[in-house]
Amino acid sequence: MSLGQNIKALREAKGLLQKQVANEVGLGISHYSKIENDQREASVDMLDKLARFYNTTIDKIVHPDNEVPEEVVIEDKSTIEQMKLIQELDEKDKSIVFAIIDKMLTTKKFKDFFNKNI
């Protein structure tokens, strides 16, 4: 279910009209309707107001059935899969990952060199 559908389901479960909820959370009816129809994103502030109004948490609005995305554990992936996941990162995070790898490889090369020559 989408976020808008989750918000709509909460409202309908309480037997409320869009106008009632919109007034309670300080939105115009048109704006609120667009959120329920997934035509406009709800801000974190708006999600907080809705959570307070429905006496629940933002997490329960976003994931009503506790369907939280699973954590990606990179150790469970093959090297190729790991590289694909790294390539999906934004440029800043990608450069950090590669800087860490470069540092580790450089350290290993120095250790190997000193172990062979000392």
- Domain ranges within the chain, ordered by starting residue: 3-62, 74-117
Mean pLDDT of the chain: 88
Query: What's the token pair of residue 102?
Result: 């470069």
pTM summary value: 0.56
What is the tens place of the pLDDT at every residue in 71-90?
666 666 788 888 888 888 99
Please enumerate in sequence order all residues whose Cβ is within 8 A of that of 10, keeping only pairs 6 or more positions apart, or say none.
Answer: 50, 54, 56, 61, 64
Residue 7 has pLDDT above 90, yes or no: yes
Q: Which fold has domain 3-62?
A: 434 Repressor (Amino-terminal Domain) (1.10.260)
Q: What percent of the chain clears pLDDT 70, i.e. is strictly above it?
A: 91
pLDDT at 73: 65
CA distances from 26 to 6, 14, 56 (A): 19, 18, 18
Res 100 pLDDT > 80: yes
**Residue 89, amino acid:** L
